[in-house]
Amino acid sequence: MTRAGARVSGPGTGGGPRRSGGTPLLRWRLRPPAGPRPKEPYADGEPPLPYPAGWFLLVPSHDVRPGAVVTRRLMDEDVVVYRTRGGRARVIRPHCPHLGAHLGCGGRVDGESIVCPFHHFAFGGDGAVTRTGPGYAPGAVRDRLAVLPCHEVNGGIFTWAGGAPGQPPGWRLPELLDPSGPPLRFARTEVLSHPQELCENVADLGHLRALHGFSDAVPKGGPVIDGHRFRATVELTRTFPPFGRLRADLTFHLYGLSLLHATLRDARSGLVFDVLAASRPVAPWRVELLIGTRVAVDGGHRVWSRLPPPLLRPLTGAAGWVNLLTVVRDMSRDLPVWDAKRYVSPPRLVRGDGPVGVFRAWARQFYPDPPADGGTPAG
């Protein structure tokens, strides 16, 4: 795989609906590892993990303005995202049921419908024809366009995929961020891996100490599991200019294997850090990773409570950029490891690894046919 680099969102290249959160995209390139690239994992064989079921982030909301039509890859297929003139996001299968034209290649939005570029049949939100093309009698096409579940939340447009055919989504994503707070800034890249491998870092305490240098990271209790939710908390010290070293609890919340919400609250500085990490499988053992970050302030803090909102906004905006670049720097340490590693099952766990076995047992529920995995919690 040739990595084109990560893209980082920021001001200065246009705008989108304010309600969707976030800011437009700029390009920013990750530095590739030195030396020759290793052979791609599973290039000659079947990957050991199938696609999981879950809500997958297709695109940040601000990338899809009213009237926009975009195509994204999901599980080795195209899906099309569009926003109606009224502002509603929708997700569909790409091909027109008439003669198979790709609606992501020349399709356009007309009011609340999407129009096929080939014969100009228009389809509404339920997939039914709302208008026939020129020269066709009403009702000429009765087949419906395939519509996928769509959930716009937390600054992104998500769709459900990977479950048993015909079954509805197993859960809904909650609103994790206060919409009145600062917008998210996004970075994106591709990695040769699987959503489960990326999420497993939450349970892998050893890699936090070794790869990321959090030598003082201490788990606070064991993981908390509630159905599709997995939560783990680690106490650590993080350097954040210009506030210096912050000692705080970092809590990871997983919603299935496709969305991570990490929060860090520092009582001394009054800063509240949010990180969303969304992994979308675009092909077998290939994932697009989107990272969204922001920094808010505790309104009751003795310093921030004295400042008026017009003064707070540029401060949290600048802090948000620092947080994004810090997270991207941390992520760049994981990328070359993910790109070349293989999935080991059962895991050869040792004391100090963290609850990797517990995580893997929890992860089995997201596969229609759960993969065999003899992993057990670390002693």
Asked whether the predicted pLDDT for residue 104 surpasses 60, the reply is yes
User: Beta 229-239 vs 89-92: how paired, if at all?
Assistant: unpaired
Instruction: Show Cβ contacts of residue 129 under 8 Å, excluding neighbours closer than 6 positions.
Output: 121, 122, 123, 139, 141, 142, 144
Nearest to 156 by CA among 52, 319, 28, 19: 19
Residue range 122-130: mean pLDDT, rounded: 97
Average pLDDT over residues 272-289: 95
For 73-82, 104-113, 203-212, which range has the lowest pLDDT when averaged over its residues?
203-212
Find out whether 121 and 101 touch, Cβ atoms under 8 Å.
no
Domains and CATH numbers, the chain: 185-366 (3.90.380.10)
Q: What is the CA radius of gyration of the chain?
A: 22
Of 89, 77, 106, nearest to 119 by C-alpha is 106
Q: Tens of pLDDT along 310-341?
A: 777 777 788 888 888 888 888 889 998 999 99
Global pTM? 0.87
Q: How many CB atoms lie within 10 A of CB 349?
A: 20
Each residue of 19-52: pLDDT tens digit? 334 444 434 444 555 666 778 888 888 899 999 9
**pLDDT of 129 strictly over 70:** yes
High-pLDDT (> 70) share of the chain, %? 82
pLDDT at 297 over 90: no
Contact in structure between 54 and 366 (CB atoms under 8 Å): yes
